[in-house]
Amino acid sequence: MDAKYGKRVVARGAVDDKGQVMTFIEAFRAWHAVHGTLPGRITVLLEGEEETGSPNLVPFLQANREELAADVCVVTDTNSWNIETPAITYMLRGMLYLEVTLHGPSHDLHSGMYGGAVLNPINALTRILGQIHDDRGRVQFPGFYDDVQPLSEAEREQWRGLGFDEAGFLVGVGLKTPRGEADWTTLERIWARPTCDINGIWGGYTGAGSKTVIPAQASAKFSCRLVAGQDPQKILAGIKEFLNARTPPDARWEIKTFGSSPAIKVPVDSPHLQRAMTGLADIYGKPPVLIGAGGSIPVVGYIQQILGFDSILVGFGLEDDLIHSPNEKFELKCFHNGIRSHAAILARMAGD
C-alpha cells in the first residue's frame, strides 16, 4: 500500500488510525483531481507494525534513506483538541515495553504440601511489582527521573489555559478520581511525566473454580512511558537493577523487551510547524493549540535519527474515539476536516 508522489512530505498512519491516514490520501487525491499534479515531491509512508514494535521499520528507513529524503514529515496519528479546535502535538512520550518471568520451583507444586515453606513465584512477583510505585505515585526504578527534561512554567501555564475537562476525561472511562504522580495535573501526567503501567499478568491456575497449585513461574508485561531527556537503555538498566535487587533466593528472571523508543519534542519555532499552524487556521478559523500526547509514535524518532528531519504531528482523532477498545470510531466530521486541513497545509507548505 505504498504510494509515491514525489519528495516533500512523508505521511504515515498506524493501525488505530485507519480513518486518519485516509484524510491524507484523500487530500492528495482531491488536489491531484483539481490541479492534475501535486505541488511538490511527496512520499506517503504507511506503516502497520507500530503496535507490535515496528520490527521492519528501521531496516526499511535505513535501506531507503535516499528515496525517503524530504524537508519535513507530517504524521497523522494524533488528536484534535476537540471537534472544533485543531491541535498540533509537539511532545510525544516514548516507550519501553518489557515482559518478565520470575522462575522459582522446578515444577508446579501442591500448595498443601509446600505452601508456606517454599518460594511462590506469584507471591514474589506481586510483592516486587507492587513496589514499582511509592505512596505518592512515583516510579521507584533507580535513576528513573534523573534525566527528565523539566516542563517550563510557560508550558504549564499554557496547558492550564486549555480548560481541560478532567472530570469528563475520567467519566468517559467510568472513573471519578484523578490518580497518579503527586503534584502534577492530569494533563501533565499524560503529556509530560514518565509512568509505568503493568499491561498484563499471568501465572498459576486461571481457569474456573479452584486448584491448589504453587506454580513454577509467574509473568507480567509492563511498559514505561518516557519523556524528553530519558534514554530508554538507561531506563532499562534501572529496571533490571530494581528487579535484580529484589530477586528472591533460588529465583531467576527472564526478561524480554518489546519496543523501545525515546520521547519526542518538536521545536515550536520550526518554519514547517508554523506553516502547518497557518494551514489549520485556514480551515478551522482559529489557530491550533500546541499540546502533548501520552502515546508513543516511535517513527517520529526514527525519522529524526535515520532520515534527519523533524515531524509535524497533525491529527484529527477525538478523546472519546475508544482507540484500542471495542467500538473504536473516527468521526465523519473529523474525516472531512482532516482532508481539508491536509490540503490547506500542503498549500501553505508549497507556498515557499
- In Å, how far are 5, 131, 134, 208, 308 from 119, measured between CA atoms? 61, 18, 25, 25, 51
Q: Which of 1, 34, 35, 176 binds its own copies (CB under 8 A)?
A: 176
Which x/- pattern, by CB under 8 A, does the window 317-336 give for its own copies?
A: --x--xxxxx----------
Restricted to residues 54-73, the positions that interact with its own copies (CB under 8 A) are none
Q: Does the protein bind its own copies through residue 136 (CB under 8 A)?
A: no
Beta-bridge mates of residue 110: 213
Q: Which is nearer to its own copies, 38 or 213 (CB)?
A: 213
Binding mask 29-58 for its own copies (x = CB under 8 A): ----------------------xxx-----
Residue 319 beta carbon to its own copies: minimum distance, rounded to whole angstroms: 8
β-strand pairing of 213-214 with 311-314: unpaired
Burial 59-97 (b: 16+ CB within 10 A, else e): ebbeeeeeebebbbbbbbbbbbbeeeebbbbbbbbbbbb
Question: Which has the closest alpha carbon to 217: 304, 90, 121?
Answer: 121
**Binding residue for its own copies, selected from 64, 85, 101, 126, defined by CB under 8 A:** 126
CB 325 → its own copies: shortest distance, Å? 5
Between residues 152 and 210, which has the closer beta carbon with respect to its own copies?
A: 210
Q: Pick the piece of the chain touching its own copies (CB under 8 A) from 19-27, 128-136, 153-161, 284-292.
A: 128-136
Which CB sits closer to its own copies, 37 or 199? Answer: 199
Q: Which of 119, 148, 281, 347 binds its own copies (CB under 8 A)?
A: 119
Q: How far is CA 26 from the centre of its chain?
A: 25
Q: How far is the CB of 204 from its own copies (least distance, A)?
A: 4
Nearest to 179 by CA among 222, 146, 133: 133
Q: Which stretch binds its own copies (CB under 8 A): 102-110, 153-161, 236-244, 336-344?
A: 102-110
The answer to whether 215 touches 121, Cβ cutoff 8 Å, is: yes
Q: Does the protein bind its own copies through residue 309 (CB under 8 A)? A: no
Residues 180-219, mask of contacts with its own copies (x by CB under 8 A)? xx----x--xx--xxx-xxxxxxxxxx--xxxxxxx--xx
Is the CB of 35 or the CB of 179 nearer to its own copies?
179
Closest contact distance (angstroms) between CB of 117 and its own copies is 4
Plot region of 322 (φ>0 → left; ψ -120 to 50 → alpha; else → beta)? left
Cα distance between residue 235 and residue 231, in whole Å: 6
Binding mask 8-27 for its own copies (x = CB under 8 A): --------x-----------
Torsion of CA 294, 230, 270, 72, to 10 degrees: -80
Cα 196 to its chain centre, rounded Å, is 13
Is residue 243 involved in binding its own copies (CB under 8 A)? Answer: no
Q: Does 248 bind its own copies (CB under 8 A)?
A: yes
Give, in order, the Cα–Cα distances in Å from 13 to each of 6, 48, 50, 316.
18, 8, 9, 12
